[in-house]
Structure 1
Amino acid sequence: MVDAICACGALRLSFGKPPELTALCHCFACQRRTGAPFSANAFYSVECVEIIGTSTEFIRIADSGRKVRMRFCPICGSTVYWQAEAAPSWIGVGVGSFADPTFAPPVVSVFEQSRHAWVRLDEKVERFQGLPTG
């Protein structure tokens, strides 16, 4: 498996298992975090992730009112991973941090209510206007 690495290489995540979920998010917070019209995210069980290097934390409040702890490299500023209070057993990782064009494609797309109209997705991707419920 390929590691997730920041732009300068000082912060790295290594994984013992493949992601449990790969998803796209079109929420405004992800658009601002990535500087792109959506984010591509991989979610891993906390137990299978090894974090190598130091990160700086920025805490933002999600639309749900819960905290999301964004972790970024203090040298280059790349946001590599995050942990959401709403899902404490998972670590989210930006798919771009893997720099791997063969990475698992997304299976869901969330917050489509703020999706840019010109973004087209594969028909196989399950789509939600907000977060899935249930």
Structure 2
Amino acid sequence: MIEASCSCGAVSLSLPGPTRLVAACHCIHCQRRTGAPFGVGAFYPADAVTISGAPREYVRAGASGGKVRSYFCPDCGSTVYWQADNLPDMIGVAIGAIADPDFPAPVRSLFEQSKHAWVEIGSGVERFEQSSLRKS
């Protein structure tokens, strides 16, 4: 099992292990959510994740037209995970909440049209523009 948590530890997740679905997202919403030029999430089947604590929820419209629900700690403010209406059976977990420098690198790079010019994502990564997920 792998543990993910907010900065203060009040909200945590138990995960079944590393996942192969890791994505870097360069959308403006992820930039604002993280305060960084992109967000990186590891995606797990929702029924494989155990959530502890009482996170707060922030809901926004997603590029797909559905809602994206971000869950964060009401004490320290760290976003720990999110769920999107277009992937109802999956939970995205912030890689920073896992805090393991050996965790697998992203295999997908999303919303590259808003990627900062100085950000370099390694080779062998599937690259997508906008919500239509057109490969670039």
Confirm or deny a common fold (TM above 0.5): yes
Q: For residues 86 and 17 of structure 2, what CA distance do their matches in structure 1 show?
A: 22
Aligned length: 133
SS of alignment partner, residue 104 of structure 2: coil
The one-letter code of the counterpart of 1:19 is T
Deviation at 1:17, TM superposition (A): 4.2
CA RMSD of aligned residues (A): 1.2
Q: For residues 89 and 56 of structure 2, what CA distance do their matches in structure 1 show?
A: 20
**Correspondences of 1:51-90 after superposition (within 5 Å):** 51-90=51-90
SS of alignment partner, residue 30 of structure 1: helix
Q: Partner of 1:98 in structure 2?
A: 98
Q: Is the 8 A contact 2:27 2:111 kept in 1?
A: yes
Structure 2's unaligned 5+ residue stretches are none
Q: For residues 14 and 115 of structure 1, what CA distance do their matches in structure 2 show?
A: 31
Q: Partner of 1:45 in structure 2?
A: 45
Q: Partner of 1:5 in structure 2?
A: 5
Q: Partner of 2:107 in structure 1?
A: 107
Deviation track 1:72-126 (CA, whole Å, cap 9, x = no partner) reads: 1111111100110110000011100011000011001010000001111111111
Tell me the TM-score normalized by structure 1. Answer: 0.94
Deviation at 1:67, TM superposition (A): 0.6
Q: Is the 8 A contact 2:80 2:93 kept in 1?
A: yes
Q: For residues 100 and 18 of structure 2, what CA distance do their matches in structure 1 show?
A: 14
The one-letter code of the counterpart of 2:22 is T
The one-letter code of the counterpart of 2:5 is I
Structure 1: which 4+ aligned runs deviate by more than 3 Å?
none
SS of alignment partner, residue 2 of structure 2: coil
Structure 1's unaligned 5+ residue stretches are none
Tell me the TM-score normalized by structure 2. Answer: 0.93
Q: Is the 8 A contact 1:20 1:44 kept in 2?
A: no
